Structure 1
Amino acid sequence: MWQSVGLTLLVIVATLVCALLFMMFGWYVVWQLFLSKFKFLRELVGDASTPQAETQPAEPKSEHSASATTRNRPRTARQRVAFSETSS
């Protein structure tokens, strides 16, 4: 009788441990692949490490948008004049 109760408790505890390990592994995989990309989730969890994208120096938005437009298509004379006036 006590053997069957002990075995039942062992099975229940082993099942709970396996389920907990599976959940922890799943959370880790989802965190590494997706959730760690969001800054507000990192702040909620208290993760001090930063992803690789934030460690690289970012160029200012005005320079980035200006360089992106020059690469994509040539500017018209009106756009060149307007851009030079705002740069000065």
Structure 2
Amino acid sequence: MAEYFRFYGGAADKISGETLPIDKPDLFVFTAREPVGVVAAVVPWNSQMFLAAVKVGPAIAAGNAIVLKASEHASAPLLAL
């Protein structure tokens, strides 16, 4: 699981806003690097740690806050997180 957080942590400074080329002269297309706010992540009972890592990692790397909801059937593995 640590390798996923390491990967997304390394990608955090590579997220950038850029202007994209387009063939229509009256349109301007761009990407912006700005957080969307609070991200909700619902994790099922199977494969909790993996699914939590691939949801939490990108959200934190993009600068968002995250609310992580574990399964009520088996929530103990995510307590370590």
**TM-score category of the 2 structures, normalised to the smaller one:** under 0.3
Report the structure, 1 or 2, having the larger strand content.
2
TM-score (norm 1): 0.22
Report the structure, 1 or 2, having the larger helix content.
1
TM-score (norm 2): 0.24
Q: Which has the higher contact order (CA 8 A, sep 6+)?
A: 2
